[in-house]
Structure 1
Amino acid sequence: MSQIGFRRTRLEWFSSLPACLLLLAVVLFSTSSDIHNQMLRAGEQMWGSYYKLRSDPVQPSCNPNRDIEAAVQQELAESGASDDPMAALLGAHEKDPADVRLAIERSVADCQASFASYENLKDKLTPSVKAYRAVELFVADLIAFGLESQRYILVILVMLCAVTATLSRHHIAMRAMETRLDYTVSHTLQTIANAMLLGSSVIFRQSSMGDETTMSAEALLLHNLWIIGFACLTLASLYRLFRVPDDLRDGGSLNKAFLAVPLYTVMCLISGTYFVLIGHASGIGIYLGKMMELADMFLNVGLYVWVGMMLKQTRLATLVFDVFRPWRMPPEMLAVVAVLVAAVPTAYTGASGIFVIAAGAVIYGELRAAGARRHLALAATAMSGSLGVVLRPCLLVVVIAYLNREVTTDELFGWGIWVFVLTAIMFMTVALTVNRQSKFNLAPSAEAFPAMMQALRPLIPYALVIAGVVLLYRFALDVRMDEFSAPRLLPVIMLAILLFEHVTLKKTAGRASEAPSHQGMESSLRSATNDTTSEIGALLLLLGLSVSIGGVIERSQIMEVFPQAFDSAWSAMLLMVVILVILGMIMDAFGAVILVTATVSTIAYSSGIHPIHFWMVTLVAFELGYLSPPVALNHLLTRQVVGEAEVLAAQQEGGTFYQRHERIIMPLIAMGISLVLVAFVPLLFYA
């Protein structure tokens, strides 16, 4: 075995396999809740009052054969019902014998009913009930364990994948490391930042233990996991610093070297320095700890990335593009179709950046195979996730509704459809009119339509597999496919598709003319998880430090410089647009939503901007920010998944200024016009 192969195998055992098990555990724990609900319902239908049988019945302590007459006399005697005049003088209260008798008769009747219920339950507690109960209680304990373990799973997953991303040089930066100077500067600053994260976590742990309240064992374990994780991350970056790869060339520029520093490192150095200067060294640790409050959301992000990496291992995307190939569309039109089709899976992955990581390489490869020029393919890939974030069941919209009582998911998704139509029309207009370099010579419908219908046939089995999983959850577990269930259904759907391809393509693996080669279920899942670990490490660490940057903005009270309310909704909206686009440039979607909820949203509401309108503007402004230099996060993610060589090749192409920068300018024009229309046109009707 070669040294590279040995390193890859070792990385799979110590990184990919644990990450795969953690992600499967998240799916299992979330699904076990649905299974448990159905088990309770089934137990109730089979035995009736099953909830009473979940524990052994306890024999009542009362006496069902109590002598009522004797009890009445004793009660009257104890209450002072006597003819003695001295008792009356001492204030003794006489009870009505009829009332006493009635109360005791009811007490005896209740006791007898309790005994009857006890005997009935004891008779129902058959061996089959006990066996069923043992399984049901095990599932209940599994759910409780899963809910308690979410935070620990998240910490372990983040740290494990972050170390993997460090060792594989996969963190998100403005440019790749090309020279030894780039490498040295990047890993030196990474080591400093990681040491800063470690120190902040240690200080946070010590300050928490110094509080008057006793720290729980769970909180102490969480602190220790953060410390161990950052210690490993620091050692990993230090190891990388002294193990310089041989494929880097000498020389380099210091300015370019700083651009090779990962974004999470820059965010860490900025926020860490700020917190140290204000005497709050534990600040980063505190804000990273806030990730635990939304542990399920960040775990869902990891699941979505895993789903995307599994999608890349299937033939599904290629088969979808095959449906449109018979029309012989020009590259610009095919790019529009790709972005529109990508809106649906984007809605199921939660944010545009997640989708670019998950499926960007597939979209870029298919567009290039169809003849699209590099700049156009890069622009479409970067924007492929920007249109679907307003559609149901996008996780980002669910988080907005969760954090803001002024809006609901139904309201946001309802208006999101119109925003999607607008942004789609804008992108279509820009792509098909500005700098169009191809002629519209579509194939005749008589020729293209039959071929398209023929290309739809291979997709039918995939649709049946997807429908089968959805219907299984619907009827077996009473779970509908929506914004809440999608994170746990999609991994199961993709695993089912991988299994389907493994079974069907394996049969014809030896006949290359009939079916493409297939690497198998185990190999596909392993490859998908290998890609997932690095991507999750790069993305979740960036999300965590983005929350820390939000803490810097919040604590520095920058927003207090602005008026807390504007007399004009138009002036307020203009300011909101600028602020939201800037936040989109420097923060991830989830961290930015948390910050906007705590600061900007109140100013907008007080200035007369409708909450639904404000959040629609926020979503579009964020997407414009992710496509805007100098950071342009979606373009960075695009470069990460398609490869540095493709981006460099595009930059070396000639042409007009627009042609040389089409991958940046085209999305800016489309989303910029959309943002202006979404922000200001509705004000004409209610401001």
Structure 2
Amino acid sequence: MAGPAFRRTGLEWFSSLPACLLLLSVVLFSTSSDIHNRMLQLGEQLWSGYYKLRMEPVAPSCDPNRDLEAALAAELAAAPAPDDPMAALLGAADRNPADVRLALERALADCREAHLGYQALQAQLTPGVRAYRAVELFVADLIAFGLSAQKRILVILVMLCAVTATLTRHHIAMRAMETRLDYTVSHTLQTIANVMLLGSSVIFRHASLAADTGITSEALLLHDLWILGFAALVLASLYRLIRVPDDLRPGGSLNQALLAVPLYTVMCLISGTYFAVIGHASGIGIYLGKMMELADMFLNVGLYVWVGMMLKQTQLATRVFNVFRPWRMPPELLAVVAVLVAAVPTAYTGASGIFVIAAGAVIYAELRAAGARRQLALAATAMSGSLGVVLRPCLLVVVIAYLNREVTTDELFGWGRWVFLLTASLFCLVVMGLNRHSRLALAPASQAWPAMRAALKPLLPYVLVIAGVVLVYRVALDVRMDEFSAPRLLPVILLAILGYEHVCRGRQREPGESRHQGLEWSLRSATNDTTAEIGALLLLLGLSVSIGGVIERSHLMQSFPQAFDSAWSAMLLMVLILVVLGMIMDAFGAVILVTATVASIAYASGIHPVHFWMVTLVAFELGYLSPPVALNHLLARQVVGEAEVSAALREGESFYQRHERIIMPLIAMGLALLLVAFVPLLFYA
């Protein structure tokens, strides 16, 4: 769990400034590809045949003024003697002078045409073309460098952020460190796990060097970066182990202390021990290296986290809530509205956990201000990111389509809309039917509508800023806002919103709104949070891939039939496996594992690929809400605070009331999973 927040000094820029520059470089490199494509189109429009002008034309080596008669005489004179047997065999002795002349005339014509083309190209190479070409080729080189640097950027970003998360006690665990025993046990095991990571990376490097296939300089550099990063991580965990904070209580319970161990540490200890036992000590390093195969995807995850943290620094979420405030909705209805509205930004932030981190605190605070019980507010906060993962342009769906040629993004997003409507309806029924404690009464429309229209006015500039950025990309770069362009457009949109608030909020503050601290402070705060969250999420994701390697190498999935006679039996097994994977693995790592193992069994058993992946997405979300891990609840507690969760546990008399934040989302998503999994089988199985 998160430790104390960053101190707002200039010192935190030592970690977050490099992270900010790395993330900006990812946006720059990805955007430069769009710029280059547009420059090629514009160059062709301005100068016909621009693709020929991109390189300096080379003068033809032939002579356009060649004497045809002299050349003919030379050719005929060089002809072999008629009695030469080799010439007879090749047919050279039968050369017709007319044919030789014709060939020479054609060659001379081609030569003169080549020289005319060269002169035409030279004439077209005006100073303007040369200047434009220089810029276009620079952008092309920038793209090539960016593509080659992706893996290096990812390794540096992961390790920099992982060290930051360790130093700030921000790794994700089942509970926060509250006692000295919690702290000692957690950081001791973290140190052991980090030493395992370092050792595995060193062994993997030596094995790669010893391999007969050889190793490229790029691969060797990546090995060295992993080793340097894990060495820094070991030092960071040792430093934290030695420097015990003063705010911890003495004593503690060992069982409770083990729950304070970060999840990535647990995964590392499990996978590292397994690989050591089977004599494959480099296993963790190998599976972490597999992250490099999807470096662009993991960098997009980092960009989405950054987007979420910048969103957290804006007033956008609060002003959206202001639109609904005039209706004076009962807390249960407001919770439903909050979760439904959150589905759209969830789709644009890539995964449910990222949105919970970004906007969970705002959702919880607004629901509490409206009179919601702590349990209800915590449940809505944890579920705020669960419904939108099936909507366009969610990165998780794009990754599924990328790894599985049996499905397309259009198919998945098309059926995702229906799955969203189903889960939204079930959540509404559960909250309003089973959990409603207040009377369903709204403010009179005559009072609410004018206030709602007034609340919409402050949102108009945000809409214009977003539309302006999207329009610039559409007109200037011919880039539409979709699932492929969203990772590079969203950071620009959020930077534009922060810039707008920097310019305008100081002059036009809403009543009761705090004074805006400025663009630099907002960006620094967002990047501070991003640095720690990327370290916690991507390290957890990387070790999830390693756990997937344990499952793969242990041949656990081979113990199940590779095909079932009944799609119903196969679906029942799929549901159980997918929920368990969602409970113990990060979404992206779980998708990679499912693609390699479970998916083929489902297809062979007669389950339609689109149906299978819709079930997978819903099952994962149920897993993220299910104990013992319940990742979305852990993230909700991380942004809300341990004190609020502890206070919620003391509320209510019955077991259900004390654990409503866990049980209520399980009911809604569990019903959704059963319907999504088994109802479609009635129509095609």
TM-score normalised by L of structure 1:
0.96
Question: Displacement, 1:435?
Answer: 2.5
Give the whole-Å Cα distance in 2 for the aligned partners of 1:376 and 1:225.
Answer: 45
- Indicate the larger mover: 212-221 or 612-621: 212-221
Contact 2:6 2:168 in 1 (8 A): no
Which position in structure 2 is the counterpart of 1:503? 503
- Indicate the larger mover: 20-29 or 448-457: 448-457
Output aligned runs, 1:320-399, within 5 Å: 320-399=320-399
Which position in structure 2 is the counterpart of 1:295? 295
Give the whole-Å Cα distance in 2 for the aligned partners of 1:320 and 1:573.
Answer: 40
Give the whole-Å Cα distance in 1 for the aligned partners of 2:262 and 2:378.
Answer: 21
Output aligned runs, 1:590-605, within 5 Å: 590-605=588-603
Give the whole-Å Cα distance in 1 for the aligned partners of 2:521 and 2:7.
Answer: 17
Question: Displacement, 1:291?
Answer: 0.5
Structure 1 residue identity aligned to 2:448: A
Contact 1:508 1:515 in 2 (8 A): no
Distance 1:654 1:132, change over 3 A: same
Question: Displacement, 1:13?
Answer: 2.6
Q: Which of 518, 521, 533 is the equivalent residue of 1:520?
A: 518
Distance 1:13 1:107, change over 3 A: same
Contact 1:80 1:94 in 2 (8 A): no
Unaligned 5+ runs, structure 1: none
1:322-357 deviation digits (Å, cap 9, x = unpaired): 111111111111111111111111111111112112
Distance 1:470 1:666, change over 3 A: same
**1:458 is paired with a residue of what secondary structure?**
helix
Residues 1:314 and 2:322 aligned together: no
Which position in structure 2 is the counterpart of 1:445? 445
Structure 1 residue identity aligned to 2:549: G
Contact 2:6 2:528 in 1 (8 A): no
Question: Displacement, 1:44?
Answer: 1.8
Structure 1 residue identity aligned to 2:402: Y
Give the whole-Å Cα distance in 2 for the aligned partners of 1:83 and 1:517.
Answer: 103
Contact 1:352 1:389 in 2 (8 A): yes
**2:537 is paired with a residue of what secondary structure?**
helix
Output aligned runs, 1:199-210, within 5 Å: 199-210=199-210
Which position in structure 2 is the counterpart of 1:427? 427
Which position in structure 2 is the counterpart of 1:615? 613
Contact 1:508 1:514 in 2 (8 A): no
Residues 1:533 and 2:543 aligned together: no
Question: Displacement, 1:270?
Answer: 0.2
Give the whole-Å Cα distance in 1 for the aligned partners of 2:90 and 2:124.
Answer: 54
Question: Displacement, 1:78?
Answer: 3.9
Root-mean-square deviation over aligned CA pairs: 1.9
Structure 2 residue identity aligned to 1:603: I
Which position in structure 2 is the counterpart of 1:48? 48
- Indicate the larger mover: 649-658 or 590-599: 649-658
Contact 1:313 1:528 in 2 (8 A): yes
Give the whole-Å Cα distance in 1 for the aligned partners of 2:90 and 2:449.
Answer: 104
Unaligned 5+ runs, structure 2: none
Distance 1:5 1:332, change over 3 A: closer
Question: Displacement, 1:675?
Answer: 0.4
Residues 1:97 and 2:97 aligned together: yes
Question: Displacement, 1:460?
Answer: 0.6
Which position in structure 2 is the counterpart of 1:652? 650
**2:349 is paired with a residue of what secondary structure?**
coil
Give the whole-Å Cα distance in 2 for the aligned partners of 1:111 and 1:187.
Answer: 76
**1:275 is paired with a residue of what secondary structure?**
helix
Which position in structure 1 is the counterpart of 2:12? 12
Give the whole-Å Cα distance in 1 for the aligned partners of 2:99 and 2:430.
Answer: 88
**1:507 is paired with a residue of what secondary structure?**
coil
Residues 1:69 and 2:74 aligned together: no
- Indicate the larger mover: 96-105 or 255-264: 96-105
Contact 2:306 2:526 in 1 (8 A): yes
Give the whole-Å Cα distance in 1 for the aligned partners of 2:238 and 2:215.
Answer: 32
Question: Displacement, 1:87?
Answer: 7.0
Question: Displacement, 1:655?
Answer: 2.4
Which position in structure 1 is the counterpart of 2:27? 27
Question: Displacement, 1:64?
Answer: 1.1
Which position in structure 2 is the counterpart of 1:117? 117
Distance 1:264 1:103, change over 3 A: same
Which position in structure 2 is the counterpart of 1:549? 547
Question: Displacement, 1:138?
Answer: 1.4
Aligned length: 682
Output aligned runs, 1:172-191, within 5 Å: 172-191=172-191
Which position in structure 1 is the counterpart of 2:284? 284
Identity of aligned residues (%): 80
Which position in structure 2 is the counterpart of 1:489? 489
Output aligned runs, 1:198-237, within 5 Å: 198-237=198-237
Which position in structure 2 is the counterpart of 1:565? 563
1:70-114 deviation digits (Å, cap 9, x = unpaired): 333433444448599997599654134333333222211111111
TM-score normalised by L of structure 2:
0.97
Residues 1:629 and 2:627 aligned together: yes
- Indicate the larger mover: 140-149 or 226-235: 140-149
Which position in structure 2 is the counterpart of 1:260? 260
Give the whole-Å Cα distance in 2 for the aligned partners of 1:90 and 1:143.
Answer: 52
Distance 1:329 1:58, change over 3 A: same
Question: Displacement, 1:652?
Answer: 1.5
Contact 1:416 1:616 in 2 (8 A): yes
Residues 1:165 and 2:165 aligned together: yes
1:495-518 deviation digits (Å, cap 9, x = unpaired): 100111111112346xx8596421
1:237-279 deviation digits (Å, cap 9, x = unpaired): 0000011100000111100000000000000000000000010
Question: Displacement, 1:588?
Answer: 0.6
- Indicate the larger mover: 528-537 or 90-99: 90-99
Give the whole-Å Cα distance in 2 for the aligned partners of 1:89 and 1:111.
Answer: 31
1:347-397 deviation digits (Å, cap 9, x = unpaired): 111111121122212211221222211111111111111111111111111
1:405-445 deviation digits (Å, cap 9, x = unpaired): 11111111111111111000110000100121011111122
Q: Which of 656, 671, 674 is the equivalent residue of 1:673?
A: 671
Give the whole-Å Cα distance in 2 for the aligned partners of 1:572 and 1:5.
Answer: 47
1:43-92 deviation digits (Å, cap 9, x = unpaired): 22222222222222111101112222333343344444859999759965
Distance 1:106 1:528, change over 3 A: same
Give the whole-Å Cα distance in 1 for the aligned partners of 2:10 and 2:193.
Answer: 27
Structure 2 residue identity aligned to 1:69: E
Distance 1:80 1:423, change over 3 A: same
